[in-house]
Amino acid sequence: MKKYIKQNIYKWHKIIGLTTIIPVIFWTLSGLMHPFMAHWFKPTLPKEKLEISVIDTTKIKYSFQEVLKAHQIHRFLNFRIVSFKGSSYYQVKSIDKKIRYFDTATSKELLQGDKRYATHLAQYYLADTAIKPSNISLQTAFSQDYKYINRLLPVWKLSFDKNGGTDLFIETTSGRLATFNNQNRKNFLSIFDLFHNWSFLDAISNNQIRITVMMICLSIIILSALSGILIYGFIWGKFKTKPTNSKSILKKYHRQIGIATAFVTLTFAASGAYHASKKWNPDRETGLKHEPIIKAEHLKKDFLKLNLRGERLSNIAIVVLRKDTLYQVVYNKTEDEPQEILYFNAKAGKEIVNADVEYAKYLVKKFTTSLQQEDIILPDCCLKTDEDNSLFEAKLLNTKTLHSFSRDYGFVFKRLPVVQLDYDTPDQDTYFIDTQFSTLASHVTNDDRTEGYSFAIFHKFLFMDWAGKNIRDLTMLISALGVLIVSLFGLAIFIKK
């Protein structure tokens, strides 16, 4: 068997190497583009983060209850207060998910208010109050130029002719800029999606077939790298020839560069395969919202009559915690004080102590129960009891509020602040809850952590962060370029022969 392997391994190496030459070219070339677009040629805007303003309660002449009564709104999903163009408005999310705006000084509804507010936010981020969008549309699903990695939906897509074409994607319920693309970035996203994610397979088949084909190709690349290491690292004397022609020169450098890049070839392919395997089933958790219907009759207490501290007040909303309807009051972070989220009973106006963590725990129960029932959010009448959910037989080990991203909760999840809840389960489940918007920001298990670390370290070279982004990305570029050159040299050897 050993003799048979030695006699045939060189032939096998050539065959499997040639089999994956096209995938390797696709992945390395598109991979080489990523650091350039992500860091060195990344588009910028004058402003990329919304400065949180303080709510001026003196401009509120009509209470929220008066506005609801005036417009015959008996049920809704939530509300908050926003200010733009010199006025403040109640931003109300109706039960049909439409966003409506009512002037707090006159109680009149602002027609096309959500589109106007999205335009105002776009002008804010562009630092140009006169600029007008050439096109504006509401996007309720992810697309070619607005990927799942952006997380937020629905968003308004606003297109501007400025700088050859710039698109901004804005979530009005939070004021967040989800992402923005200029023409160069749009071109990059199309190329990367086509050649790195193989979106063309989705167009002619489905996600499972795409992942299967990618996994097969990556497995062959791993075999090619391993056979190359065996041939050129251990038994090269059996195949070695004198460098008397160009073919031998190519063999020489193919061998030398191949040995030098063997490890990164294996790590690129193995971490890529592991990452792809996690995409087999779509993520049904991240971004889940709990939006129970709020009845106007439950708002007995006017929030303006609560004991509010106006100098830091930045947001007011409504949540349902078990059977209680509560005002959720958010106070801005200052140099001296952290951000605070307080809760007041909407009937009596009494403050509920430590309610933010309790609300986060309540949301975890809602989300996990609804997922077990294979639905997104079900009415309270149809949910299983807490005793039916095995997760909550586990002990809650730790809770904390994150105001910055962490190792387990990276910047790709977008939302801050979030409440982190760690449970004592076999998979060490950790939930990250955005209590301000009643959203499951992320759910992480041991398997997710392992895959995340694998991809971060071996595919994105985060182990080089100590040297800075530029050095890290330069190292990754050289590695990917080495893999590409080895493959092209191998192809050249075959063609010459």
CA angle 85, 156, 154 (to 5 degrees): 120
What tokens were used for 33? 């583009």
As a whole number of angstroms, the distance between CA 162 and CA 164 comes to: 6
* Closest of 448, 438, 437 to residue 407, by C-alpha: 448
As a whole number of angstroms, the distance between CA 58 and CA 43 comes to: 40
pLDDT mean over 80-88: 92
Which position has the higher pLDDT, 344 or 52? 344
Give 219's DSSP letter: H
Residue 237's pLDDT is: 56
Question: Residue 472 above 90 pLDDT?
Answer: no
Q: Determine how β-strand 135-139 pairs with β-strand 155-160.
A: antiparallel
Residue 67's pLDDT is: 96
- Quote the percentage of the chain above a pLDDT of 70: 88
Q: Determine how β-strand 75-76 pairs with β-strand 351-352.
A: unpaired
Residue 242's pLDDT is: 54
Question: Residue 378 above 50 pLDDT?
Answer: no
Strands (E), 172-272: 176-182
Q: Determine how β-strand 176-182 pairs with β-strand 166-171.
A: antiparallel
Question: Residue 379 above 70 pLDDT?
Answer: no
Residue 231's pLDDT is: 66
Counted residue by residue, the chain has a size of 497
Question: Residue 160 above 50 pLDDT?
Answer: yes
344 CB-contact burial (10 Å; exposed 0-12 / middle 13-18 / buried 19+): buried
Q: What's the pTM value of the predicted model, to 2 decimals?
A: 0.85
Question: Residue 159 above 90 pLDDT?
Answer: yes
Residue 18's pLDDT is: 79
pLDDT mean over 288-314: 88
Question: Residue 407 above 90 pLDDT?
Answer: no
Please, which pLDDT band fits residue 377 given cuts at 50, 70 and 90? very low
- Quote the percentage of the chain above a pLDDT of 90: 40
CB-CB contact of 421 with 436 (8 Å): no
As a whole number, the mean pLDDT across the chain is 85
Question: Tell me: the pLDDT tens digits for 239-271?
Answer: 555 555 555 777 777 777 777 788 888 889 999
Residue 74's pLDDT is: 95
Question: Residue 457 above 60 pLDDT?
Answer: yes
Please, which pLDDT band fits residue 42 given cuts at 50, 70 and 90? confident
Please, which pLDDT band fits residue 187 given cuts at 50, 70 and 90? confident
Least confident among 7-16, 56-65, 191-200, 481-490 = 7-16
Question: Tell me: the pLDDT tens digits for 423-448?
Answer: 999 999 999 999 999 999 999 999 99
Residue 486's pLDDT is: 83
Which position has the higher pLDDT, 343 or 411? 343
CB-CB contact of 50 with 84 (8 Å): no
Question: Residue 57 above 90 pLDDT?
Answer: no
The CB density around residue 363, as the number of other CB atoms within 10 Å, is: 24
Question: Residue 465 above 90 pLDDT?
Answer: no
Question: Residue 238 above 90 pLDDT?
Answer: no
Question: Residue 381 above 50 pLDDT?
Answer: no
